[in-house]
């Protein structure tokens, strides 16, 4: 299966594309307040490992001001917090794409960039200013990039999560 | 769906395998690092639309 690798590495100054994995990306989130007060505004900076979800063409042609990213976690780190993900059944459900809010990425064995299976968390996505993201990527050195068709598979999983519809009255199951 | 389990007259419980259902679990993971910053609001203005011109073929 080496003919279809999941990942490659790209130079720090390479254009940011969908599927790029950025380590410790700062995300600025305004502190929750019931009413906006410009004099006392504050924010939290959250650092996540993220994967870029914005379309590559929008990034290359600079058609977006904010880049859509979402956090990724090592499967082991998530499993520590979830009994379900520690189970074989849970991991299989995740692998098969039956956990709509999550998407599993393969482990990476590129020398110097190794990581175990990653879980992409679609529940909280963030918009990072384009220039901030590019600067962070440039300052972070070489990075790992998810390759086609796994990149498109990720985008499709996000689309499925985003467009899902819960019916108030579902059709009764066939018995 | 694997089997039907009859619990009595008129009561049938379907036994589902994990393949049959989607599990909507949510795990709240903390960020790798978290700190607070004060913001200096430099301007407040009404946002204006930014129209992206379609590519010309």
Assigned domain for A167 exists: no
Q: Give the Cα separation of A123 and B27 in Å (integer).
A: 9
Triad A112, B34, A79: Cα angle to 5°: 60
- The confidence band for B4, taking pLDDT boundaries of 50, 70 and 90, is low
Q: Report the number of distinct structural domains present in chain A.
A: 1
Would you state the pLDDT for residue A24? 94
Assigned domain for A175 exists: no
Q: Between B14, B25, B31, which is nearest A47 by CB?
A: B31
**Residue A108 DSSP one-character state:** B
Whether B21 and chain A come into contact, CB under 8 Å, resolves to yes
User: For residue B11, how many C-alpha atoms fall within 13 Å in the half-sphere facing its CB?
Assistant: 3
- The confidence band for A35, taking pLDDT boundaries of 50, 70 and 90, is confident
Assigned domain for A106 exists: yes
Bigger pLDDT: A157 vs B42: A157
CB contact under 8 A, A81 and B19: no
pLDDT (tens digit, 9 = 90+) per residue, B18-56? Answer: 555 567 788 889 999 999 888 888 887 776 767 666 677
Assigned domain for A170 exists: no
Would you state the pLDDT for residue B40? 82
- A109 to chain B nearest CA, in Å? 23
- Burial (CB < 10 A; 0-12, 13-18, 19+), residue A113, is middle
Place of tokens 């720090």: A12
**3-class DSSP state for residue A148?**
coil
Assigned domain for A154 exists: yes
Assigned domain for A171 exists: no
Whether B51 and chain A come into contact, CB under 8 Å, resolves to no
Average pLDDT in chain A = 93
- Residue A32, pLDDT > 60, answer yes
Q: Do A137 and A15 touch, CB atoms closer than 8 A?
A: no
- Burial (CB < 10 A; 0-12, 13-18, 19+), residue B18, is middle
Assigned domain for A62 exists: yes
Chain A residues with CB inside 8 Å of B16's CB? none
- The token pair that represents A173 in the structure block: 């199951």
Is the CA virtual torsion A57, A59, A65, A67 positive or negative?
positive
Q: What is the pTM of this model?
A: 0.83
- The token pair that represents A75 in the structure block: 């499967």
Chain B residues with CB inside 8 Å of A90's CB? 23
Assigned domain for A172 exists: no
> Which of A111, A103, A133, A131 minimizes the C-alpha distance to A22?
A133
Query: How big is chain A, counted in residues?
Result: 175
Which of residues 84 through 113 in chain A touch B, CB cutoff 8 A? 84-85, 89-90, 92-93, 96, 98-101
- The confidence band for A59, taking pLDDT boundaries of 50, 70 and 90, is very high
**Residue B18 DSSP one-character state:** G
For A141, the domain range is 8-32+39-162
């Amino acid at each position: 299966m080496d003919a279809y690798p999941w990942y490659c590495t790209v130079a720090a100054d390479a254009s940011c594309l969908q599927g790029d994995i950025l380590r410790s990306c700062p995300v600025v989130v305004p502190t929750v307040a019931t009413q906006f007060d410009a004099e006392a505004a504050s924010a939290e900076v959250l650092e996540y490992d993220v994967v870029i979800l914005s379309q590559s063409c929008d990034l290359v042609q600079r058609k977006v001001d904010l880049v859509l990213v979402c956090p990724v976690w090592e499967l082991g780190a998530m499993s520590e917090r979830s009994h379900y993900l520690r189970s074989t059944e849970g991991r299989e459900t995740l692998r098969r794409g039956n956990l709509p809010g999550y998407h599993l990425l393969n482990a990476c064995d590129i020398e110097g960039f190794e990581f175990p299976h990653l879980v992409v968390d679609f529940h909280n996505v963030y918009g990072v200013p384009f220039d901030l993201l590019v600067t962070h990527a440039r300052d972070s050195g070489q990075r790992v990039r998810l390759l086609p068709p796994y990149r498109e598979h990720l985008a499709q999983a996000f689309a499925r999560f985003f467009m899902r519809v819960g019916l108030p009255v579902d059709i009764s199951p066939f018995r | 769906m694997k089997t039907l389990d009859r619990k009595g007259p008129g009561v049938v419980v379907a036994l589902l395998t994990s393949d049959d259902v989607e599990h909507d679990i949510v795990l709240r993971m903390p960020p790798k690092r978290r700190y607070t910053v004060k913001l200096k609001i430099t301007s407040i203005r009404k946002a204006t639309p930014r129209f992206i011109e379609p590519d010309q073929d």
